[in-house]
């Protein structure tokens, strides 16, 4: 599902214009990006949480040349799936998922 397809479904389900649905999806994703960019975390019950994980610097190797390269420390966005979401995805064959 792409953003455009999601906007169509959202517009249809709650009876708004597709453009407004797309705006809402953008506000949703931008809110999460901005929260993590300022070091905050985002917790959405039943869905999951987004937080920043720190990756330490390391000595890597160029897989092609075998040359050593320094990989600096960096931050990466991380999503931890919430219990409800995890169970919906894992137990879909047991009749637990909604259509």
Partner 1 sequence: MTKIDIINRVAEQTGLPKQDADTAIETIIALVKDTLSRDEPVILRRFGSFQTRAKNPRVGRNPKTGEEAEISARTVVRFKAGKHFKQSVNNENPA
Binding residues for partner 1, rule: CB under 8 A, are 1-3, 6, 9-10, 13-14, 16, 20-21, 23-25, 27-29, 31-37, 40-48, 52, 74-79, 81, 85-86, 88-90, 92, 97-99
Sequence-distant (≥ 6) Cβ neighbours of residue 4 within 8 angstroms? 22
Nearest CA among 1, 7, 36 for reference residue 19: 7
Residue pair 64/70 in contact by the 8 Å Cβ criterion: no
Least gap, CB of 15 to partner 1 (angstroms): 10
Instruction: Name the residue nearer to partner 1 (CB basis): 53 or 66.
Output: 53
């Amino acid at each position: 599902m792409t953003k455009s397809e999601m906007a169509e479904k959202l517009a249809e389900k709650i009876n708004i214009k597709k453009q407004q649905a797309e705006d809402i999806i953008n506000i949703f994703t931008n809110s999460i990006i901005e929260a993590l960019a300022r070091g905050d975390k985002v917790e959405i019950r039943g869905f999951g949480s987004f937080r920043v994980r720190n990756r330490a610097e390391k000595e890597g190797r160029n897989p092609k040349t075998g040359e050593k390269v320094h990989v600096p420390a960096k931050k990466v966005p991380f999503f931890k799936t919430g219990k409800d979401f995890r169970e919906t995805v894992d137990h879909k064959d047991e009749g637990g998922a909604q259509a």
